Amino acid sequence: MVACYHGFASIVTLLSRCPYLDVNHQDKEGNTALMLAAQAGHTPLVSFLLNYYAGLDLERRDQRGFTALMKAAVQDRPECVATLLMAGADLTSVDPVRGKTALEWAVLTDSFDTVRRIRQLLRRPRAEQLSQHYQPEWPPLAGLVAQAQAQAQAAPSLLERLQASLNSSFAQPPQEGGVLDHLVTITTGLASPFLTTACHTLCPDQPPALGTRSKSVPELLGTPVPIHTQVCGPPKSGPSSLAVSRAQNGKKEAGGGGQVYTESREDGLGQVRNSIFEDIGTEKLRSVQVPH
């Protein structure tokens, strides 16, 4: 948990080889390693947890009923949200207090980048280029070529020449479904000539899709799932490893230089206003900030 909270990728990689590690273990506030990495914005760690930790529970909830997807959406982590959604996180699941989905929480907390990212995924919920049946042809190409040929044969009018001379060449963002978007798609697809011919997927007919849980690498390779992840139901909440390290640091500081250790806390969901939860009589959302 501490490694996921701080983004220590090398430690998380080494721990993936431990057969006795419970990746779904929760601290006293109900946070899992996936929740801490997602709300902190560590996208590579979130992707590694999803791909290399068998039995990872995406829908595990903390004490307030928030999933990792909701916590990442509230903290405005669009890439973590996209990674969780493409790994099978449930976008329709709601929290038990306010009854809102991750998208609704993103709108409520002004997480505009996350809202835009979710809406893009809803328009294109399937990575078709990662299937062997994908054809790398650009559909609008034939129509654009015919239109260009028709314009080349017809003489441009005075208005068209005037507009062409007065247009300024400002940088434009890539158009969704345009030529740049298609270039990225074919260069990352399985049929791309830019990929090595020795690169083959284990699931050629099951490309990643929104809301579809994909198997992890140990599950695809037939590695046995750890015993901890096979037990149904949430594990018993033990003392938080963050709280233990905090208490140890506090004792050292109090006993060493005679200084009183004070713990610093911040809202566990970042910019969420506590007033949102005060009007329904729930306690404030809080999490421990580990001192550096």
Pairwise pLDDT comparison (122 vs 265), residue with the higher score: 122
pLDDT at position 142: 82
**Confidence bin at 251 (pLDDT 50/70/90):** very low
Q: Please say whether the beta carbons of 246 and 288 come within 8 A.
A: yes
- Segment among 5-19, 24-38, 69-83, 208-222 with least mean pLDDT: 208-222
Q: Quick one: which of 6, 105, 8, 30 has its CA closest to 287?
A: 30
- In the predicted model, is pLDDT for residue 83 greater than 90? yes
Share of the chain above pLDDT 90, in %: 33
Q: What is the mean pLDDT of residues 252-262?
A: 40
Residues 6+ apart with CB under 8 A from 245: 2, 290
pLDDT at position 218: 82
DSSP string, 272-284: --THHHHTTTPPP
Amino acid at 216: S
DSSP state of 213: P
* Residue 165, φ and ψ in degrees, nearest 5: -80, -25
pLDDT at position 289: 42
pTM for the predicted model, two decimal places: 0.64
CATH 1.25.40.20 fits 2-126+208-288, yes or no: yes
